Chain A
Amino acid sequence: MTVVVAVVVLVVAIATYLTWLASRLDRLANRVDATRAGLVAQLTARADAARTFARSCGLDDLAIAAERARAGHATLLAEAALDATAEDAENALSRALRSPAVALAVGRAAPGDVHAMDAAAARVALARQFHNDAVGDVRSLAGRRLVRLMHLSGRRPLPAYFEIDDAPPVREDGPPRPESSAEVSGP
């Protein structure tokens, strides 16, 4: 009798632990989805701001980079993978945003357009950090032997980090921000 009770208690304990692990993985998957959506939204906002700026200043290279990035966002919004193709397009846009042509145009552009473009670029860096933090947390939990053995992640594929160069442009007249790599500004 005692043996039966002990076995039942043990089975219940193990089942509870596994359920708890599975619920953590579920919650993490939701967090990855939410941060991914946030990242795509910020990438879209950055490309839109860059396109607006490029049009008002007649910057063809920036306009092309923005259009190319923007073209990929349709599939990203439809849950396509944030893969190397997307990374290449965003890297090209980051480089275009830092190009000397843009730096020159900033001087004669409307301050509001410049601020919108820079703020959008800074938000991309933050959104990417939030996304990659979530990915890192999933990968560390999903990598545990017990989780793999029991297939607790179900059929969910392991999410990938989104690695791009999102260093924001440096503006000479802007206030230096030694404490931060990125700036967020509210509305």
Chain B
Amino acid sequence: MKIGLACPYTWDVPGGVQAHVRDLAETLLDAGHDVSVITPVDDESTLPPYAVDAGRAVPVPYNGSVARLLMGPVSAARVRRWLREHDFDVLHAHEPTAPSVSLLACMLADGPLVATFHTANPRSRFLTAAQSALQPSLEKLRARIAVSEAARRTLVEHLGAGAILIPNGVAVRAFEGARPLPRYRPVAGVGDDDGGGGAEGRGAEGGGSPREDGPVVVFLGRIDEPRKGLDVLMAAFPLLVEQVPDARLLVAGPGDTEAVRSRIDPSLLGRVDLIGLVPEADKAAVFASGSVYCAPNTGQESFGIVLLEAMAAGTPVVASDIDAFRRVLDDGRAGRLFGVGEPAELAARLAELLRDPAERARLVERGRAVVARYDWRVVAQRIVGVYEMVSGDSPVSVAADDT
């Protein structure tokens, strides 16, 4: 199938939508489809061979963060040329409500159009204001996909449009069999000689083989973003140490590490490892370094992708009891939940798990079963099912009236 994907945000700036488009494109390519992506990009040399440059996006401050947008005659001409050159069986626009390439593609194209809506924003003034301007483009979409129930609700409430639900995928292969960071590797000769069986080796090691020091709790996320909940974990940690004296804490993620360090009780400093921002490629190793991954988020997340990544890396999860996490963790069957913002309860959950390797192994097993449903290979197949349902009669063309 010839598939065109439009990504609205700058390719070489990290973000959830970009990652989604990249993973989807690569999974579809692996499955033998013909895929082309069009996207704004700052440094064209970062583009993979399957992607086309739509121009440089302009940063616009919006809603407390910076949205990078791209609309204009030059990019419109590039999108038009891209559509003409490819003759796609289906055009799949991501987040076509953002004033960028995806919206341009919807305006310029005609035929089998599909869109995925990523954002969950219960009170978007932008969407409300732009509704009638967006409507002519959105009404061309033959299928609308939302990545979460919250994203679907946003669409229904702001644009009066229905959508089917297909969740985000997880690049399971990138996490499977991950090895811990070097200094978190088990003592040489005990768990290290397991050869190729990385994942199983880790499972067995959870059964009691010694580590250099005690069990490790991992946090990954922005350390100065209150909604990521590092403060809750920091308050729980001293309580955890009372129950599990050799517990350690590994904190990864961007932000002011010195500010976090200054708030730690000096007697515990030796057990807390603040490693700052880790490259995307090291995320799996960070998860694999932990006996438990902790997600103490206090704000509503629309989708618990980071939980799935930890589970794919074979690390059991303890997470706060918010909607998205409860859904991903199968109501607590695939990971432990604790009351949002409750350090004492978090410490108790962590202690239970750190003392019970058998239960950890059980959670890892159930986690694998959950992750399988979100495996990009499975999710992409469901998306291809949608492509097949909307395409067929004629390929995507450039609209006669360019609207």
Contact A130 B142 (CB under 8 A): yes
Contact A133 B161 (CB under 8 A): yes
Which residues of B are found within 8 Å of A42, using beta-carbon distances? 389
Is B373 engaged at the interface, CB distance under 8 Å to the other chain? Answer: yes
B92 to chain A minimum Cβ distance, whole angstroms, is 14
B389-401 to A contact mask, C-beta < 8 Å, 1/0: 1100100000001
Q: Choose from B136, B149, B382, B403 the contact partner of A184 (Cβ within 8 Å).
A: B382
Contact A137 B139 (CB under 8 A): yes
Contact A134 B142 (CB under 8 A): yes
Which residues of B are found within 8 Å of A137, using beta-carbon distances? 138-139, 161
* Nearest CB in chain B to that of A183: its residue: B382
Contact B166 A141 (CB under 8 A): no
30 contacts between A and B (CB under 8 A): A20-B401, A20-B403, A23-B401, A24-B136, A31-B140, A34-B393, A35-B142, A38-B390, A42-B389, A123-B389, A126-B164, A127-B389, A129-B163, A130-B142, A130-B389, A133-B144, A134-B142, A136-B160, A137-B161, A140-B160, A141-B135, A176-B330, A179-B148, A182-B164, A184-B381, A184-B389, A185-B382, A185-B385, A186-B385, A187-B388
Is B231 engaged at the interface, CB distance under 8 Å to the other chain? Answer: no
Listed in ascending order, the chain A residues whose CB lies under 8 Å from chain B are 20, 23-24, 27-28, 31, 34-35, 38, 42, 123, 126-127, 129-130, 132-134, 136-137, 140-141, 175-187
A138 to chain B minimum Cβ distance, whole angstroms, is 8
* Nearest CB in chain B to that of A28: its residue: B139
Contact B164 A129 (CB under 8 A): yes
Q: Choose from B135, B373, B382 the contact partner of A186 (Cβ within 8 Å).
A: B382
A175 to chain B minimum Cβ distance, whole angstroms, is 6
B41-60 to A contact mask, C-beta < 8 Å, 1/0: 00000000000000000000
Which residues of B are found within 8 Å of A180, using beta-carbon distances? 164-167
Contact B390 A130 (CB under 8 A): yes
Docked CA distance A175–B167 (Å): 15
Contact A123 B393 (CB under 8 A): no
Listed in ascending order, the chain B residues whose CB lies under 8 Å from chain A are 110, 135-136, 138-140, 142-144, 148-149, 160-167, 327, 330, 369, 372-373, 381-382, 384-386, 388-390, 393, 401, 403
- Most B CB contacts (10 A, CB to CB) among A23, A27, A132, A177 go to A27
* Nearest CB in chain B to that of A24: its residue: B136
B177 to chain A minimum Cβ distance, whole angstroms, is 22
Q: Choose from B143, B148, B330, B381 the contact partner of A130 (Cβ within 8 Å).
A: B143
Contact B142 A179 (CB under 8 A): no
Contact B393 A132 (CB under 8 A): no
* Nearest CB in chain A to that of B385: its residue: A184
Contact flag A126-B389 (CB < 8 Å), given A176-B330, A184-B382, A186-B381? yes
* Nearest CB in chain B to that of A138: its residue: B139
Docked CA distance A184–B393 (Å): 20
Docked CA distance A137–B137 (Å): 11
Contact B139 A141 (CB under 8 A): yes
Which residues of A are found within 8 Å of B381, using beta-carbon distances? 184-186
Which residues of B are found within 8 Å of A186, using beta-carbon distances? 381-382, 384-385, 388
* Nearest CB in chain A to that of B113: its residue: A31
Q: Choose from B149, B162, B386, B390 the contact partner of A136 (Cβ within 8 Å).
A: B162
Which residues of A are found within 8 Å of B401, using beta-carbon distances? 20, 23
Which residues of A are found within 8 Å of B389, using beta-carbon distances? 38, 42, 123, 126-127, 130, 184
B356 to chain A minimum Cβ distance, whole angstroms, is 25
Docked CA distance A144–B135 (Å): 13
Which residues of A are found within 8 Å of B390, using beta-carbon distances? 34-35, 38, 130
Which residues of A are found within 8 Å of B393, using beta-carbon distances? 34
Contact B165 A179 (CB under 8 A): yes
Docked CA distance A41–B271 (Å): 62
Contact A27 B110 (CB under 8 A): yes
Which residues of B are found within 8 Å of A31, using beta-carbon distances? 139-140, 142
B389 to chain A minimum Cβ distance, whole angstroms, is 6
* Nearest CB in chain B to that of A179: its residue: B167
Which residues of B are found within 8 Å of A177, using beta-carbon distances? 373
Which residues of A are found within 8 Å of B144, using beta-carbon distances? 133
A87 to chain B minimum Cβ distance, whole angstroms, is 18
Q: A123-B389, A126-B385, A136-B160 are in contact. List 16 more A-B contacts (CB 8 A).
A: A34-B393, A123-B385, A126-B143, A130-B143, A130-B390, A133-B163, A136-B162, A137-B161, A141-B135, A179-B148, A179-B327, A179-B373, A180-B166, A180-B167, A184-B166, A185-B385
Docked CA distance A149–B139 (Å): 22
